[in-house]
Structure 1
Amino acid sequence: MHLFSYENAKLYKEKTKIWHDKDNQPKVFEEGQRVLLFNLRLKLFLGKLKSRWSGPFLVVNVYPYGAVELHEKGSEREFKVNGQRLKHYWGGEVERNKSSFSLKDP
């Protein structure tokens, strides 16, 4: 009985893995590309319109098994992150200047 349940659990896990992996497309990053980094800390301060992606960063080195080394523009900081937290950046330069407008009574 124990062997039968062990085999069923093994088959279930294999089928679940196949089902989960069929929609996952591995992201391929190359040196010199620009990417956006998912910021996990912003989950603590939820905001409807607040973007959870920061960047763009420059890919310096791609390691095996999904690790990626990034370089932050404007500083000499380089750090490694998991490639699952990255996505390709297709836009132009991001303007970081914030402006505010005061509303006047009519």
Structure 2
Amino acid sequence: MDMVAIGQQRMLQLHELEEIRNEAYESSRIYKEKTKAFHDKHILRKSFVEGPFTVTKVFPHGVVEVVSPSTEKSFKVNGQRLKPYYESMEKEQAAVIHLIDLVNVDE
């Protein structure tokens, strides 16, 4: 056996393995870029508007029927997705209570 020839053969195999590995990394990077571009292209921008809905009926298993006051359309949603609506209070409606006044009341 020629040790020099075997060493050169082994180095050639290691270089080929390194090239295959680099090609795999490059292929993976290109795939990820294309997948991200496809995903980003199909994202729909949602616009949210403030508006309360009126609950008209509660069905078994958490289904709730709600009505939109502006369009008068009713639809069913999962009850876990509903959140309570609190109307904003005007500054004139809000009561101001000073903590100093509360301390003097106890005496």
Query: TM-score, normalized by length of structure 2?
Result: 0.35
**Higher relative contact order by CA 8 Å / sep ≥ 6: 1 or 2?**
1
Which of the two has greater strand per residue? 1
Scaled by the length of structure 1, the TM-score of the pair is: 0.36
Answer 1 or 2: which has greater helix percent: 2
- Which of structures 1 and 2 has the bigger CA Rg? 2
